[in-house]
Amino acid sequence: VNGSAREVQTVLGPVEDSALGFVLVHEHVAASSAGILRSWPAIYGGRTALTDRAVEILSRARAAGVQSIVDCTTFDLGRDVELLAEVSARSGVTIIAVTGLWLDPSVTLRARSVEQLAELFVYELTDGIDGTGIRAGAIKIATEAAVDPVGGRILHAAALACMATNAPIITHTAAQHRSGELQAALLEEHGVDPARVAIGRSDDSREIDYLTRLADRGYWLAMDRIPNGALPEYGGQSVADRIDMIARLVAAGHANRILIGHDDPAWAGLLGDEDQRRRRASNPRSLTFISDVVLPAFGSRGIGSDVITKITVDNPRRWLSAA
Ligand SMILES: [Zn+2]
């Protein structure tokens, strides 16, 4: 590798990092539970309807400037890479799938050792997922307020897989408990380079020192559920607060550490029907919210187009490819 163009694995095969363009780093076509998409299509209106709906959402995002998304759906969130490949091909949006695990590993996964879990993650990054040959391009992990033994094994395995393949990590945190700091301590203990790691849910935090200290250590700050500020169950940070925090981070010199996303699935099966309706009502723009609302708001806060390009294009390219 000569240091200029680097390959990133997508659901339609490897691409040069320079082809990624505007990247949303934390999205989902569908987020539910392992096996649900295949075994119970009636619960989400059937596979054709879901695929069409996802294609429509991503096509609108594409028209609004979005070129790539990281689909952060792990095995335990019901990942289906053939669905992702079809949606990517039909919408024209590049999709990067993930390995790793979220907060709902099955009994079988909970019984595995660090080495076994790392073997699974590396297999999905290098050989492919579900026998398809479609390779993961990133590793997702999740930590709430504390790390239990299973969560510790998953995190350690993700660290080993990151170091073996140089794949990027994106995390779910409970930002009000500053769990990004806990993740950072454990990942560094296992030898991971902070520049490979995006600390997610960072826009849930109201504490700028939590964010600036992580940025100073070299971590990416994934401000990745911005429209959810409209709903009370996602904490006290409103949409305006989340945009303001990004502006404060830029003013503090951290524009080169910020990543962005919605985390707004086309089908959020892990939520009940009423919560899904409320969620759709609170963000009818779906994956054009950042293009339609957030980027114009940046402009009115004095954030120039050079910084917007950094946040939407340059930073995710550097995080995904290590270029
Ligand atoms: Zn998510």
Q: For the whole prediction, is pTM greater than 0.85?
A: yes
Tell me the average pLDDT of the chain. Answer: 96
Residue with tokens 């301590």: 185
CA distance 274 to 81: 27
How many angstroms does the Cα of residue 31 sit away from the middle of ligand 1? Answer: 7
How many angstroms does the Cα of residue 223 sit away from the middle of ligand 1? Answer: 12
Q: What percent of the chain has pLDDT over 70?
A: 98
CA distance 138 to 102: 13
How many angstroms does the Cα of residue 63 sit away from the middle of ligand 1? Answer: 23
Band (pLDDT 50/70/90 cuts) for residue 236 is: confident
Contact by Cβ (8 Å): 155, 182: no
- What are the pLDDT digits (tens) for 14-38? 999 999 999 999 999 999 999 999 9
Residue 5 pLDDT: 64
Tell which residue, 200, 140, 142, 192, has the closest CA to residue 164.
192
How many angstroms does the Cα of residue 254 sit away from the middle of ligand 1? Answer: 24
Residues whose CB is less than 8 angstroms from the CB of residue 13 and which lie 6 or more positions away in sequence, other chains included? none
Amino acid at 113: S
How many angstroms does the Cα of residue 204 sit away from the middle of ligand 1? Answer: 13
Contact by Cβ (8 Å): 85, 38: no
Q: What percent of the chain has pLDDT over 90?
A: 96
- What are the pLDDT digits (tens) for 243-276? 999 999 999 999 999 999 999 999 999 999 999 9
CA distance 241 to 254: 17
CA distance 191 to 164: 11
Contact by Cβ (8 Å): 223, 186: no
- What are the pLDDT digits (tens) for 54-79? 999 999 999 999 999 999 999 999 99
pLDDT surpassing 50 at residue 3:
no
Task: For ligand 1, an ion, list residues with CB under 5 A.
Answer: 72, 263
How many angstroms does the Cα of residue 4 sit away from the middle of ligand 1? Answer: 31
